Amino acid sequence: MKTLIIYYSDSGSTKIMAKTLSMNLKADIIEIKDLKNRKGTVNKFLSSIDAFRESKTKISPEKIDLTSYDLIYVGTPTWANKPAPAIITLIDNCNWSGKDVILFTTMNNNGSDEPTLERLEEKVRMRGARVVERFSLNTKGKSAENIINDTERIIQTLVLKMYSGA
């Protein structure tokens, strides 16, 4: 069973989660870069609008060949209660047919993670994937160590090793 973790991260929290998952689950990992400038207050505001509208963005890599993977994790920060544009764009560029998918998001307020996970699920299912699990982490005020510990706890609680045979 070959597992791949695909993620986008702006300020590093989702990256820490993705790396912790990859190490614990012995999975390959690919970071999606958003080539649009997302730095600074104005760009952050515009980024929320992009996310809310599900605007596409320029990403690198533009697409990923998923052929050799059975299980794919997709991780994104929550922006305006939605997945980040880089992940929306990536999903639309890949062939998800017949793949098992696990979705995760990070956020930093007391709002719900559901709209982001729901939208991700809708998008990959439309493209033929089966969502087998999904989870989220509130990163507010958390150090890298906290995020690593929380992710390892999620791996245990949801028995994620079962899906990838790690």
Q: Residue 40 CB, nearest distance to ligand FMN (Å)?
A: 11
| Amino acid at site 139 | T
Q: To the nearest whole angstrom, how small is the minimum distance from the Cβ of residue 128 to ligand FMN? A: 27
| Between 47 and 57, CB nearer to ligand FMN | 47
Nearer to ligand FMN, 89 or 100 (CB): 89
Strands 100-107 and 130-138 come out as parallel
What contacts 82, CB < 8 A, 6 or more positions away?
A: 51, 52, 54, 88, 115, 116, 119
Stretch that binds ligand FMN, among 41-49, 53-61, 125-133, 157-165 (CB under 6 A): 41-49
Footprint (CB under 6 A) of ligand FMN, residues 49-68: none
User: Residue 103 corresponds to which amino acid?
Assistant: L
Residue 11 engages ligand FMN in binding (rule: CB under 6 A)? yes
The total of other beta-carbon atoms located within 10 Å of residue 96's CB is 19
* SS3 readout for 12-64: CHHHHHHHHHHHHHCCEEEECEECCCCCCHHHHHHHHHHHHHCCCCCEECCCC
Candidate ranges 59-67, 79-87, 96-104, 156-164; the one touching ligand FMN (CB under 6 A): 79-87
Assess 30 for contact with ligand FMN (CB under 6 A).
no
Question: What is the C-alpha end-to-end distance of the chain, expressed in Å?
Answer: 9
Is 128 near ligand FMN (CB under 6 A)?
no
Applying CB under 6 A, the residues found at the interface with ligand FMN are 9-15, 44, 47-48, 77-81, 106-109, 111, 139
